[in-house]
Every structure is written in C-alpha cells, then in structure tokens.
Amino acid sequence: MSRIGKKPIVIPNNVKVSLEGQVLTIEGPLGKLQQVFSPNVSVKFDSAAKVIKIERTNSTRLAAAMHGLYRALFQNMVIGVTTGYEKKLEIFGTGYLFALEKGVLQVRAGFAHEVHKKIPDGLEVKCLDQTHLSIKGTDKQLVGQFAAEIRSIRKAEPYLGKGIKYDGEVIRRKQSKNKQK
C-alpha cells in the first residue's frame, strides 16, 4: 500500500471542497482548482473532520500507482489555493533581459531576434527588474511548466554562465578549453 496515499489530507478552514462523481473541486482564497480522478481510487471527504481520504478500489499495480499520485495532486491543490506557488528565474549575459508587454513575455537572450511567450491564464508574471522574473500561480504544474519553457529558451551554459537559470540554481562551471601560456 502506498505510504503517501495512506496519509489523509487536512483541509484548512478557509478552503471549500466539493466532490461530484469523479471530479474533486477545491476552492480557496487564491482560486479554484479541479481534478478528474481515476476510477481505480475512491475519494471520500469527511466534512466534520475536514479531511480527504483516498483508497484503492482494487489491488492492481495501476491502482497502487494512482493511490499515491492522486493524494499528492490533491495536496498540491490545497497548497495552491491557500498559499500558491512561485518560481523565480534569473538571466545573465550582456544585453540579455526580460520584459512584459500586454500579456506577452519578451526575452532577449543573445539571439538575432526577441523570443515572445504568451503568458497562460491563471499565472501572474512580474519582472522584478530586467534580469529577474517571478512566476506565481495556484496550479503547481502550470507554474513549473511555464518556468521550464522560459528556461529552455537559453539554458545557462557552463563556460561563461550566460543564459537563464532558476533563482538559487548552481551552474557547474568548466575551465576554458583554450590553453593560454
């Protein structure tokens, strides 16, 4: 049995939970999230104890995998609607910068052209300055995916460290290949 799946999810007082068929909806101060779950698991919400419990409906390997997965997804939804998620990115290089204009993120990363990324609904993107970017949202997957797409425009390279990296990420630097005498 999944160790993660066995843990009940405690719901804070300012969060509303509704369960309709195979859809769990969680609504909190920051927003509303929905998740359709597999018939391999059964979800029970105890409104008196403010707890969500997930149990397997059968003993297959798929049901075991879904047991822990849906517990983690539901926990992430509760955290998302109460505190939210945030990723910070940093860009380094001469002439490299982030800029926002009408729901579109502009990235100058050493190419002959600017890269434009449309900001998905449900995300709040702020340029803290020209080299730092903050991405906030309630959906952990959406925040992480958008941050990864931006980072993939120009990953930080190991020789000079130019490119886009997560705030706090350590880039292992390599020594230059040319030998100077």
Reported as a single tens digit per residue, the pLDDT across 82-100 is 999 999 999 998 889 999 9
pLDDT higher than 80, residue 181 = no
pTM: 0.87
The pLDDT score that the predictor gives to residue 180 is 66
Q: Could you report the per-residue pLDDT of 30-65, keeping only the tens digit for each? A: 999 999 999 999 999 998 999 999 999 998 899 888
Is residue 42 assigned to a domain?
yes
Domain of 26, in residue numbers: 3-82
Domain end position, chosen among 23, 52, 82: 82
Q: Say if CB 164 and CB 153 are below 8 A apart.
A: yes
Is residue 181 assigned to a domain?
no
Q: How far is CA 101 from CA 105, 108, 110, in A?
A: 7, 14, 20
The pLDDT score that the predictor gives to residue 74 is 94
